[in-house]
Amino acid sequence: MTSTASPSKGQFRDENELYDDINNGGTHEKVSERIRQRLLDRGVSFFANDNVSECIEEGELEELQIEVAEKVGDLLKSLVIDLDNDHNTADTAQRVAKMYLNEVFKGRYHNQPKITSFPNVKHLDEIYTVGPITVRSACSHHFVPIMGSCWIGVKPGKRVIGLSKFARVADWVFSRPHIQEEAVMILADEIERLCEPQGVGIILKAEHYCMKLRGVKEPHCSMVNSVVRGDFRHDPSLKQEFFELVHQQENALSR
């Protein structure tokens, strides 16, 4: 068996103590700066759709949440919102910081969920598809939701993983700020790393709230894109079979 990921980070310091550290005279280097320096030292990319959990040490996620809450508070103040008297937004900064780090962008700050792969002892080599898997993400350009569905097709290779694990790894990958074109490629990279398939294909269909809520305000517009790797790329009939299977899956659902 091969396992990935390690235990989640524990909370070691009292929140008030951390607030004091951050507020007292600014002698403390910001935790975001410490993490950034570590990333630079190790030459690790930290784009919006990258995972940076390897460079976050124990207890730092809690510190980061406090730092982000302060900055979100500053943003609200710059938006000229009366944080002192408006009961609705009094705790918004803390809520937003927590939501970013532990929910909607958890795929940046938290380790990959534990996924165990097994040797493909039966030498399975027929393709199968999994989907629809719900996609909840946010666009890198506006930080508003991207919501949709994806389908994953696999021609098994050396190792296999459980069906539910595809949904887990997809949720982890999508929970970052993204552009759709890169999101499918990052997910394909992770699936290749986890189970070394002979072929993998992903189709993603999503609605972008930056098009629904603002800008052109097109409420029904969606984007569909795909990525095919390995045998799915080299063998047109296999690629065709993958798209056909997903199509059948979609039709079965809409009945």
95 binds Zn ion per the rule CB under 5 A: no
Looking at beta carbons only, is 117 or 175 nearer to Zn ion?
Answer: 175
Q: Stretches 29-37, 117-125, 127-135, 142-150: which one binds Zn ion (CB under 5 A)? A: 142-150
CB 65 within 8 A of CB 99: no
Torsion from C-alpha of 5, 11, 13, 19, nearest 10 degrees: 100
CB 173 within 8 A of CB 187: yes
**Closest approach of Zn ion to the CB of residue 47, in Å:** 16
**Residue from 22, 76, 179, 210 binding Zn ion (CB under 5 A):** 210
Looking at beta carbons only, is 48 or 81 nearer to Zn ion?
Answer: 48
**Residue from 142, 159, 168, 233 binding Zn ion (CB under 5 A):** 142
Amino acid at 137: S
DSSP category for residue 104: I
| CA count, 13 A, side-chain hemisphere, 205 | 11
**Residue from 139, 169, 183, 228 binding Zn ion (CB under 5 A):** 139
Task: List the x/- string, 154-193, binding to Zn ion by CB under 5 A.
Answer: ----------------------------------------
Q: Stretches 93-101, 131-139, 222-230, 233-241: which one binds Zn ion (CB under 5 A)? A: 131-139
Residue, CB closest to Zn ion: 210
141 binds Zn ion per the rule CB under 5 A: yes
Cβ partners under 8 Å of residue 93, min gap 6? 69, 70, 72, 73, 75, 76, 83
**Closest approach of Zn ion to the CB of residue 204, in Å:** 15
Cβ partners under 8 Å of residue 136, min gap 6? 104, 145, 146, 147, 171, 174, 175
Angle between helices 60-78 and 92-99 (to 10 degrees): 130
**Closest approach of Zn ion to the CB of residue 203, in Å:** 21
**Closest approach of Zn ion to the CB of residue 208, in Å:** 6
Please state, in angstroms and rounded to a whole number, the distance separating the CA atoms of residues 9 and 12: 9
**Closest approach of Zn ion to the CB of residue 211, in Å:** 7
**Closest approach of Zn ion to the CB of residue 178, in Å:** 10
Coil, strand, or helix at residue 227? strand
Looking at beta carbons only, is 123 or 217 nearer to Zn ion?
Answer: 217
| Structure tokens that stand for 197 in this block | 């398939």
Give contact residues for Zn ion (rule: CB under 5 A).
Answer: 139, 141-142, 210
